Structure 1
Amino acid sequence: MLGAFRRSSGLSGLLHFRRSSQLKGSKAFEATAIARKQSQPIRPYFRLPDSFRKTKEVGVFPSLQHSSVWSVISFAKVEFLEWYLTMVKCRPVLTKSITSALIYTAADLSSQTIALSSSEPYDLVRTLRMAGYGLLILGPSLHYWFNFMSRLFPKKDIFSTLKKMALGQSLYGPSMTVIFFSMNAFLQGENGSEIIGRLKRDLLPTMLNGVMYWPACDFITFRFVPVHLQPLVSNSFSYAWTVYMTYMASLEKAAP
């Protein structure tokens, strides 16, 4: 019986040895096949265009970069507009005065750029005078004038708009033109008779040109723009007009 047990154990050991040898052989074969497969070069079945591969290396498409830049710019514009409208409501007179000063500064520099030659320097004192007029006189007066018009004629129908335009052309416009020419001449050192001579020479042509320019601007402003934004729109229209006004104000003294 002991001999039979030994024979059976020897037979089972032999079978186990053969199975382990076969298993090791199969694993070695699989490892060799994997190594051969990895060593072989991979042939691409589809080649991407150069432009696509370059953008893939960068990680972002150019169109996406372009759109992201414009989205940032648009967001900044919206933020600035919201900030400006908030300032118009919280600090109306100050905001409108600074806006007028900036527009008059830009308009005067534009006027000098047109009139001066490339070798002539800018007259920064003149620009400072124009900015001071916009800051101290025009900006506050526009605020109170438009508020007064909205209380006097609260409706925005055609008839009310025409009445606002008529008052602007007959009262506000001439008054501000006289103040503008007189203040600018006084700051340049002109005396009373010289200021009167300048007004006689320049006031009427300026008013006639204003009648051709301002009615359409006033109609748009009074008819379609909210009251708190009317000074801003009027200042925007006044840019081209201010270029002309600063040119007229820079003319030589009138002959006595």
Structure 2
Amino acid sequence: MNALQRASSKFGAQSPFLRVPRHRRPAVRSQRHSSSTNPGDSPPAKTPGRNSLPPKPQNGIGAGDSAKVEPVDIPIQLWYHRLGPVSTFFSWFHRMQTKRPYTVQLCTTLTTYLCGDLLAQDIGGELYDPNRTLRMLTIGAIAAIPGYKWFLFLGRNFNYSSKVASIATKVTVNQAIFTPVFNSYFFGMQAILTGEGPTGTINRIAATVPVSIVNSLKLWPAVTAFSFWFVPAQYRFMFSGIFAVAWQCYLSFLNRKEEKIEEATDTMSHPVIPAGTNVE
């Protein structure tokens, strides 16, 4: 009987027709029941569930995460490291302008006029004249706050639904009003500080202002449009000051050129005759 049972079980294991399907196989006893039958045995290790994650070591990377981490190529000098001093300067400038706007504008204007005059004197090829630099700084100190107020006025006004129309109007108003007034003030003050009278001051303005207005059309419309389109309001005056260095250099050079013409004209009109010269 035992031999017959062994043969039948062997045949059933090898025949695919007598195998029990997997979904109909009886469930295996859970280890909980087996542990209850053997109270002396230690409890089995807990099987990790589907949502449970393996514990991570102290460095924060688990054993299963090492295969997912891709190498990152970090350059030696990042671009924001290079811009660090620049961003720090702009942050400092913004804080100082918020606290003391007039002081910042005055210092910025004086720096612009100083650099422009030094550059103009170097281009002119003459010996350095400190009185000329002092005149430039005086003119810049007087014009600093009104110029700052003017740019704030342009920023608050002439704002339409079309941004292009707004900026075009600001540029036109700036060229039609501010440029003639400022250039007349600049060359008039230069003449007054050098000792010219009313007639000489008017002649200086008439000789230099039209030429400067025509040449300003080559620079300031583009600078003003870019400033109001891209530059924030608190940085517009400083942004214009970058180009104002070259502009002040040109104005100083043009003013000195006119001074030389006036000096030559005065010399020809009133020639100096050495003492003891016989004039027939």
Superposition TM-score, scaled by structure 1 size: 0.66
Q: Which amino acid aligns with 1:141?
A: P
Q: Distance in 1 between matches of 2:108 and 2:159?
A: 25
Deviations 1:79-104 (A, max 9, x none): 33221111111111220121011011
Q: Distance in 2 between matches of 1:153 and 1:94?
A: 27
Task: Find out whether 1:153 has 2:158 as its counterpart.
Answer: yes
Change in CA separation of 1:198 and 1:92 when aligned onto 2, cut-off 3 Å: same
Q: Distance in 1 between matches of 2:83 and 2:176?
A: 41
Which residue of 229, 246, 254 maps to 2:252? 246
Structure 1 residue 135: Cα displacement: 2.2
Deviations 1:186-211 (A, max 9, x none): 00111100011111111111111111
Deviations 1:12-48 (A, max 9, x none): xxxxxxxxxxxxxxxxxxxxxxxxxxxxxxxxxxxxx
Task: Report sequence identity in percent.
Answer: 28
Compare relative contact order (CA 8 Å, sep 6+) and give the higher one, 1 or 2. 1
Q: Distance in 1 between matches of 2:102 and 2:145?
A: 6
Q: Distance in 1 between matches of 2:201 and 2:101?
A: 33
Structure 1 segment 156-171 matched on structure 2, within 5 A: 157-171=163-177
For residue 109 of structure 1, what is the aligned residue in structure 2? 118
For residue 226 of structure 1, what is the aligned residue in structure 2? 232
Task: Find out whether 1:121 has 2:130 as its counterpart.
Answer: no
Aligned structure 1 segments of 4 or more residues deviating by more than 6 angstroms: none
SS of match in other structure, 1:190: coil
For residue 185 of structure 2, what is the aligned residue in structure 1? 179
Structure 1 residue 108: Cα displacement: 0.7
Structure 1 residue 147: Cα displacement: 1.2
Q: Distance in 2 between matches of 1:206 and 1:157?
A: 29
SS of match in other structure, 2:195: coil
Which residue of 94, 108, 117 maps to 1:99? 108
Q: Distance in 2 between matches of 1:151 and 1:79?
A: 28
Q: Which structure carries more helix by proportion?
A: 1
Q: Which amino acid aligns with 2:189?
A: M
Q: What are the ranges of 5 or more consecutive residues in structure 1 without an aligned counterpart?
A: 1-63
Q: Distance in 2 between matches of 1:184 and 1:125?
A: 11
Task: Find out whether 1:193 has 2:193 as its counterpart.
Answer: no
* Count of matched residue positions in the alignment of Structure 1 and Structure 2: 186
For residue 93 of structure 2, what is the aligned residue in structure 1? 84
Q: Distance in 1 between matches of 2:94 and 2:134?
A: 26
Q: What are the ranges of 5 or more consecutive residues in structure 2 without an aligned counterpart?
A: 1-75, 267-280
Q: Distance in 2 between matches of 1:95 and 1:191?
A: 34
Task: Find out whether 1:141 has 2:182 as its counterpart.
Answer: no
Structure 1 residue 176: Cα displacement: 0.4
For residue 204 of structure 1, what is the aligned residue in structure 2? 210
Deviations 1:120-152 (A, max 9, x none): 431111112112222221x21221111111221
Q: Distance in 2 between matches of 1:80 and 1:132?
A: 27
SS of match in other structure, 1:195: helix
Q: Which amino acid aligns with 1:98?
A: C
Deviations 1:64-119 (A, max 9, x none): 8xx6xx96x85444333221111111111220121011011011101111111xxx
Q: Distance in 2 between matches of 1:176 and 1:168?
A: 11
Q: Distance in 1 between matches of 2:103 and 2:164?
A: 31
Superposition TM-score, scaled by structure 2 size: 0.61
